[in-house]
Amino acid sequence: MSVALQLVVSGLALGSIYALIALSLVIINKATDVVNFAQGEMAMLGTFACLAALSALKLPLWLVMLGAFPLGLAFGALVERLAMRPLSGGPPINALIATIGLFLVFHHLAGWIWGYDPYRFPSLFSNEPVVVLEARISQASLGILAVSLGVMALLYLFYERTRTGIAMRAASMNRRAARLMGIDVGRVSMTAWGLATGLSLVAGLLIAPLTFLDFEMMVIVLLKAFAGAILGGFNSLPGAVIGCLVIGVVENLFGAYVSTAFKDAFAFGIIVVVLMARPAGLFTRRVGTKV
């Protein structure tokens, strides 16, 4: 029982990291109808930049952690303005290919600059486990959960309470009407990319101490996040979070009790089954199309 509890908590922690990336994907998709394949790589590159700030400038870890979000914000906004904005209005598959291009650029840029060996990344949390109900739960898992839930709460407030957040929601519902109401849709898409990259950079900083930092780190995380977001319906932010938490827990349990070899394939197996049964995901209602 205590082992199961340990697995569930570490699964939730992993799932919450997937969830941050999934939120990034959904935010960009809602604002621009693009699935950003480069999201994970942008997080990875940003994490490398943070590591450089830690080791070269000798900045304290907490300061780098706080600076990560604004750094991601600027990076994402810049990428949107330079690479993605000119493609808006073109065929959707071209925007998809462009994000694959960005993926390749960032992926190999990191390898080029920092080499292909994994780096150790310092963690804010100590290794000493906390004992709850006889289960030894690592502080890192709890810390990750706390940080990501905190970030998600802030995101919720941003969407509900700020003018920009409300403008972004309006633009995702009906871009044309939003434009007529004076919302700058270009700025919305830039904000979305910035916000998404900020979130995913936080995810990168959280996962790097667990997996070591290297240029391959985020590829599988991105796929899991994508799967989780699909499970939740891809258009719903809370749905994406729940979908990812489910994936994190289920794959942890499957890996421990059934088969490690098929752990990754299993996560995708569920997705196919869910898509067959509920094509719009678990948490979004299917909307009939108007003819």
The only residue of 119, 158, 159, 268 in contact with other proteins, by rule CB under 8 A: 268
Window 55-94: contact mask with other proteins (x via CB under 8 A): ----------------------------x--xx--xx-xx
Partners of 136 in the beta sheet?
Answer: 131
Write out the H or E segment, with its range, that includes residue 131. Answer: strand 129-132
Between 61 and 264, CB nearer to other proteins: 264
Q: Is 43 in the site for other proteins (CB under 8 A)?
A: no
Query: What is the DSSP annotation of 54-116?
Result: HHHS---HHHHHHHHHHHHHHHHHHHIIIIIGGGTTS-HHHHHHHHHHHHHHHHHHHHHHH-S
Between 126 and 286, CB nearer to other proteins: 286
Q: Which residues, 6 or more positions from 264, have their beta carbon under 8 angstroms from its beta carbon?
A: 220, 251
Q: How far apart are CA 201 and CA 197, in angstroms?
A: 6
The only residue of 50, 98, 145, 237 in contact with other proteins, by rule CB under 8 A: 98
Is the distance from CB of 181 to CB of 52 less than 8 angstroms?
no
The only residue of 10, 24, 29, 138 in contact with other proteins, by rule CB under 8 A: 29
Number of residues that bind other proteins (CB under 8 A): 46
In angstroms, what is the minimal distance from the CB of 155 to other proteins? Answer: 21
Q: Is 107 in the site for other proteins (CB under 8 A)?
A: yes
Q: Which residues, 6 or more positions from 113, have their beta carbon under 8 angstroms from its beta carbon?
A: 48
Between 107 and 142, CB nearer to other proteins: 107
CA nearest neighbour of 13 among 188, 222, 252, 197: 252
In angstroms, what is the minimal distance from the CB of 29 to other proteins? Answer: 7
Residues numbered 124-183 forming contacts with other proteins, rule: CB under 8 A: none
If one counts every other C-beta atom within 10 angstroms of the C-beta of residue 59, the result is: 13
In angstroms, what is the minimal distance from the CB of 237 to other proteins? Answer: 15
If one counts every other C-beta atom within 10 angstroms of the C-beta of residue 53, the result is: 16
The only residue of 105, 124, 210, 282 in contact with other proteins, by rule CB under 8 A: 105
| 17 residue type, one letter | I
Between 25 and 201, CB nearer to other proteins: 25
Q: Is 3 in the site for other proteins (CB under 8 A)?
A: no
Give me the torsion for CA of 93, 186, 195, 91, rounded to 10°. 0
Between 91 and 182, CB nearer to other proteins: 91
Between 182 and 279, CB nearer to other proteins: 279
Residues numbered 227-266 forming contacts with other proteins, rule: CB under 8 A: 227, 230, 234, 261-262, 264-265
Is the distance from CB of 2 to CB of 133 less than 8 angstroms?
yes
Identify the residue whose tokens are 């390749």.
104
The only residue of 67, 81, 111, 175 in contact with other proteins, by rule CB under 8 A: 111
Residues of this chain that bind other proteins (CB under 8 A): 29, 35, 37, 83, 86-87, 90-91, 93-98, 100-109, 111-112, 219, 223, 226-227, 230, 234, 261-262, 264-265, 268-269, 271-272, 275-276, 279, 281, 289, 291
